[in-house]
Amino acid sequence: MSSTVCSGDPMGVAVHSDAMYADPGGIFASCGQPYVKFRRQHDPVVVDYLTHLGPSPARVLDLGCGPGTLALDLAERGMRITGVDASQEMLDEGRKWAEQRGLSEAVEWRCVDAATVDHIDRLGTFDGAVIADAFHWLDRQRVLMALDKVVRPGGFVAVVGYRAPGTPREWWHPLLVKLREKHLGAADLAGPSTPYVRLEVGHEAVVRASPFCRVAVLRADYRRAYTLDELVGLQHTFAYSSAATLGERQEAFEADLRSTLSTVQPSGLFTTTLQAAVIVGRRPESR
């Protein structure tokens, strides 16, 4: 794990502001149920690391929580979680999943824009906040400024990614990109009708330019495996290849996907090694 302490005025670093999506709640339309069924939970090393960032039991805000992929794992380890997402569909699936896992009382769900958490009535303060595989969908600077108002002194912000920036993607990723381009065109989509906005500045630089500029980074290798059915189902969890985005092209896309993947991997088992990353920001001690 690497650690760096910022110096000077953290807000003096120039960072391009992120574009806002007009309908953030619609980006993952139709993804709720597939997300619970096919998205892999975060590696235990990452979950264990997060549970030791604050006091026990910690009160933690999960922004862009989806159906609770990370929130419920943290709740199982004793954290008190408030999950925030712009998609009511995702939160509804999260409530069902929490009930199935006996965690209905452990997570509070709020359907709001993550950038407005400092204005939510009776939200209170938190020991920390996590943002897992969702930071790229948010107005990152606004979110971090809002968190500066609701995360207590000494608290943390943790940006979690299933794949560390600059590390290789799954070996089958280029095949999926070509198939999406064939069926949907060259541009990535943020849901059914909105182009995806590519960010100019990486997450770590944005955190360093925020009030949480004292940064530590954890990287952890892990193995991931899917059957053919699981890998096909996984595509319905992504905004750029969801059922809502594909529409009437879904059946043709899936048939093409199955044929292509079966050709390159007749065994039907797809395995890879990835490297997860956790970027943890805290305020300077002088604050």
Decide if pLDDT at 60 tops 70. yes
Q: What's the confidence (pLDDT) of residue 242?
A: 96
63 located within any domain:
yes
CATH number of the domain that residue 135 is part of: 3.40.50.150
- Give this prediction's pTM: 0.92
Q: What's the confidence (pLDDT) of residue 14?
A: 41
pLDDT tens column, 68-126: 999 999 999 999 999 999 999 999 999 999 999 999 999 999 999 999 999 988 888 99
Mean pLDDT of 63-70: 98
Q: What's the confidence (pLDDT) of residue 5?
A: 43
Mean pLDDT of 148-165: 96
Number of compact structural domains in the chain: 1
Note down the domain range covering 83.
2-10+22-168+195-222+273-282
CA distance 106 to 120: 19
240 located within any domain:
no
Phi, psi of 242 (to 5 degrees): -70, 165
CA distance 210 to 14: 10
257 located within any domain:
no
60 located within any domain:
yes
Residues of the chain with pLDDT > 90: what percent?
84
- For residue 65, the SS3 value is coil
237 located within any domain:
no
- Look at residues 44, 8, 13 and name the one whose alpha carbon lies nearest to residue 210: 13
243 located within any domain:
no
